[in-house]
Structure 1
Amino acid sequence: MQVAGRQLSDPPSDGISNLRFSNHSDHLLVSSWDKTVRLYDAADDVLRGEFLHGGPVLDCCFHDDSSGFSACADGTVRRLVFSHGKEDNLGKHDAPVRCIEYSYSTGQVITGSWDKTIKCWDPRGVSAQNATLVVTYQQPERVYSLSLVGHRLVVATAGRHVNIYDLRNMSQPEQRRESSLKYQTRCVRCYPNGTGYALSSVEGRVAMEFFDLTEASQAKKYAFKCHRKSEAGRDIVYPVNAIAFHPIYGTFATGGSDGFVNVWDGNNKKRLYQFSKYPTSIAALSFSRDGRRLAVASSYTYEEGDKAHGPDSIFIRSINEIEVKPKPKVLPNPPA
């Protein structure tokens, strides 16, 4: 069976931790356990830059097409200046930094760490060696995933905690929740329309949640099973490692350790598409800004321990509208 997408040249040599398309171009930023962050032109399959860190890099994000940021297992937070091929230290956590986001609404970099904190950084003074740490917020457990939409920040931690903040007043969480999924959280991603978030777990499930606490809104939340199969009369369940929302239609893709990428219509509770199986686990997903491409990191995520596995690869799939556009509901014919 043919793999879905064109494979990029010069992939990382160890596990891919994340990848992200730019909001302004076809540039793709990729972080890896091989201690690098790579910048690609995904359309032309060109490696534009490579930054070597002091430890595995667990996450990365863009500021704009001239710079980005990285989160490192050695506790450092860095700004990457693409045009000059240089990097600056923003600062440090007391443990590996698991996730990083740039807030366009506040102009701050937000990092989440296994030291049970999130930190907000002002990157503007870093080249002048000014203090860049704005504030630190304690979390109930190690931070596993972050997601931003507008002024809202969703923080998912170990112990199935979910804290929801308003970036305009982060003295305390706007809401404190517990994941509706029974097992460890793997990924959280906000809906593009700002009404809620999707949360995935290691136990092959995704929960669809809403910020509005009214009874009517909360009645719309649900969870569903995915990335599992039946074999010899028993269920084999795979972690859901990645969620990516389509920027135009609001449908979303999930990537699992089963090597499959599924596309879902969350509003109509239906699967729209399943791509051909990839060589190994899906570690990360990202849609391009126009929704016409999907970057897929096929990279073993060690759920089954240290075993022989295929090389780490990045695939760029051209997206057909039929794969991501919600299907209209068919209404029954009225009685004659």
Structure 2
Amino acid sequence: MTAAPPLGGGRELSKPPSDGISNLRFSNHSDHLLVSSWDKSVRLYDASTNVLKGEFMHGGPVLDCCFHDDSSGFSASADHTVRRYVFSSGKEDILGRHDAPVRCIEYSYAAGQVITGSWDKTLKCWDPRGASGKDRALVGTYPQPERVYSLSLVGHRLVVATAGRHVNVYDLRNMSQPEQRRESSLKYQTRCVRCYPNGTGYALSSVEGRVAMEFFDLSEASQAKKYAFKCHRKSEAGRDTVYPVNAIAFHPIYGTFATGGCDGYVNVWDGSNKKRLYQYSKYPSSIAALSFSRDGRLLAVASSYTFEEGDIPHEPDAIFVRNINEVEVKPKPKALQAPPS
């Protein structure tokens, strides 16, 4: 008798974190997966072979992580530090510090810099080739209107989403001031921002079960294309239950995107045609993070309770890796699309 498959589908990675998963990311060069967690760890997995290849510890919960290249990476922690790791040697050091927990981290291949956003209401840029330690790698500090909640990069463009529904758009080649200062078109707190792979705009999610599709071009024609839609909601007996949308991940080939919510579901959307393409069966817990592999063949899903209902009993944290079928992520020709429900 074969074992029943996991609820959401996909194989479960062995040796998952022991506390909430804050983020996970595939490498741009392989099927390596980097995972940050509230258990103070950064873990490196080979998602294809289901092998834990390395583990590094912080002094506090790790709130985000990213790759530098396939052999090294960075992390952001509630202990106020920004760390870097060399996976092969196990070497690690502190790249720099903020004055409060560091919520987000990105590596810009275009600028060759690490960008961090903190609850100290600043954005910092670091040169990883510089000396580590007491801010010797620091390139610049840029005040933000509120605590930084989410960052996303495409080319030289950086989008910063903060508390208070502020959104700042920067050009990394001139960080003296934001290129654009915006306000989220959603009414409630921002959870995640992710740039479109084609560089024309960004998707923003919030705690109210909505996603907004925005465009950088400020012309009237481009701004007329922006819209927001409801998702990760449940209707029962005439009442709507609304779930935070914690994660957005764009497919690298088709530009469609997946969202993950506190309802335990992952949905795949065709943003251009305003259609849902697919919904995976329910995962054991809230979806805390999502990441497509570089070729779009795999989707990593963090099923991890995000404490939206306080400290209650919940399913163990788990990471699932799905093999993606093209039908789940490829936009359908308009003639084949179902009419709006």
Measured after TM superposition, the shift of residue 129 of structure 1 is 7.9
- What is the correspondence of 1:53-132 to structure 2 with a 5 Å cutoff? 53-126=58-131, 131-132=136-137
Measured after TM superposition, the shift of residue 329 of structure 1 is 1.0
The corresponding residue for 1:168 is 173
One-letter code of the match for 2:47?
Answer: A
Measured after TM superposition, the shift of residue 330 of structure 1 is 1.3
* Whole-angstrom CA distance in 2 between matches of 1:181 and 1:237: 14
* Whole-angstrom CA distance in 2 between matches of 1:195 and 1:251: 14
One-letter code of the match for 1:275?
Answer: Y
The corresponding residue for 2:3 is none
DSSP-derived class of the 1:271 partner: strand
Deviations 1:159-205 (A, max 9, x none): 00000000111100000000000000000000000000000000000
2:251 is equivalent to residue 246 of structure 1 = yes
DSSP-derived class of the 2:334 partner: coil
2:48 is equivalent to residue 43 of structure 1 = yes
- Preserved contact between residue 16 and residue 283 of structure 1 (Cα < 8 Å): yes
2:142 is equivalent to residue 137 of structure 1 = yes
The corresponding residue for 1:197 is 202
The corresponding residue for 1:301 is 306
DSSP-derived class of the 1:280 partner: coil
The corresponding residue for 1:260 is 265
Which segment drifts farther, 226-235 or 244-253? 226-235
Q: TM-score, normalised by structure 2?
A: 0.96
- Choose which of 232, 237, 240 in structure 2 pairs with 1:227: 232
DSSP-derived class of the 1:51 partner: strand
Q: 1:44 to 1:164 in 2, by over 3 A?
A: same
* Whole-angstrom CA distance in 1 between matches of 2:133 and 2:212: 44
The corresponding residue for 2:189 is 184
Structure 2's unaligned 5+ residue stretches are 1-5
One-letter code of the match for 1:229?
Answer: K
Identity of aligned residues (%): 86
* Whole-angstrom CA distance in 2 between matches of 1:161 and 1:227: 23
* Whole-angstrom CA distance in 2 between matches of 1:16 and 1:43: 20
- Choose which of 20, 29, 38 in structure 1 pairs with 2:34: 29
- Preserved contact between residue 41 and residue 62 of structure 2 (Cα < 8 Å): yes
The corresponding residue for 2:223 is 218
Measured after TM superposition, the shift of residue 233 of structure 1 is 1.9
- What is the correspondence of 1:293-332 to structure 2 with a 5 Å cutoff? 293-330=298-335
One-letter code of the match for 2:164?
Answer: G
Measured after TM superposition, the shift of residue 126 of structure 1 is 3.2
One-letter code of the match for 2:247?
Answer: A
* Whole-angstrom CA distance in 1 between matches of 2:191 and 2:135: 35
Measured after TM superposition, the shift of residue 331 of structure 1 is 8.8
DSSP-derived class of the 1:330 partner: helix
DSSP-derived class of the 2:225 partner: coil
Aligned structure 1 segments of 4 or more residues deviating by more than 2 angstroms: 125-130
* Whole-angstrom CA distance in 1 between matches of 2:161 and 2:142: 14
- Preserved contact between residue 96 and residue 134 of structure 2 (Cα < 8 Å): no
The corresponding residue for 1:5 is 10
* Whole-angstrom CA distance in 2 between matches of 1:331 and 1:242: 28
Measured after TM superposition, the shift of residue 77 of structure 1 is 0.3
* Whole-angstrom CA distance in 2 between matches of 1:129 and 1:94: 13
Deviations 1:119-175 (A, max 9, x none): 000111236988101100000000000000001000000000000000111100000
- Preserved contact between residue 121 and residue 146 of structure 2 (Cα < 8 Å): yes
- Preserved contact between residue 184 and residue 201 of structure 1 (Cα < 8 Å): yes
Cα root mean square deviation, aligned:
1.3
* Whole-angstrom CA distance in 1 between matches of 2:310 and 2:57: 26
Measured after TM superposition, the shift of residue 232 of structure 1 is 2.4
